[in-house]
Structure 1
Amino acid sequence: MVLETERLILRKLEETDFERMFLMDSDPEVMKYLGEPVATKEESKEVIKMIQKQYEENGVGRLAVIEKESGLLIGWCGLKLLTSPINGYVNTLDLGYRFIPEFWGKGYATEAAERILEYGFNELNANAIYAYADSENAGSKYILGKLGFEKTGEFDEDGVICFWYELKREKYSKK
Structure 2
Amino acid sequence: MKFYLETERLILREIKETDLDGIFALDANPKVHLYLGNRPISSKKQALENIQFIQEQYRKRGIGRFACIEKATGEFIGWSGLKFNKGEKEAVNGIQNFIDIGYRFIPKYWKKGYGFESATACLEFGFNQMNYNIINAAALEGNIGSNKILTKIGLQLVSKFSYEDVKANWYELKKEDYGN
Question: In 2, distance between residues paired with 1:59 and 1:92?
Answer: 13
Equivalent residue, structure 2, for 1:58 = 61
| Alignment of structure 1 residues 9-158 onto 2, 5 Å | 9-35=11-37, 36-83=39-86, 84-158=90-164
Quote the sequence identity (%): 48
The alpha carbon displacement at 1:158 in A equals 2.0
Contact persistence 1:149–1:167 (CA under 8 A) = yes
Q: Count residues in correspondence.
A: 174
- Residue aligned with 2:178, SS: helix
Provide the aligned C-alpha RMSD in A.
1.0
1:105 is paired with a residue whose SS is coil
- What TM-score do the two structures reach when normalised by structure 2? 0.93
- Structure 1 residue runs of 5 or longer lacking an equivalent are none
Q: What is the CA distance between 1:88 and its match in structure 2? A: 2.4
Alignment partner of 2:161: what SS? strand
Gaps of 5+ in 2: none
CA distance in 1 between partners of 2:105 and 2:170 (Å): 21
Shift of 1:82: 1.0
1:134-175 per-position Cα deviation (integer Å, ceiling 9, x unaligned): 11111101111111111111112222221100111122132x
**C-alpha contact (below 8 Å) 1:64/1:76 kept by paired residues:** yes
Aligned with residue 168 of structure 1, among 165, 170, 174:
174
Could you tell me the TM-score, scaled by structure 1's length? 0.96
- Whichever residue aligns with residue 145 of structure 2, its letter is G
Alpha-carbon deviations, 1:13-40, whole Å to 9, x = none? 0011111111111111111011211111
Deviation at 1:73, TM superposition (A): 0.6
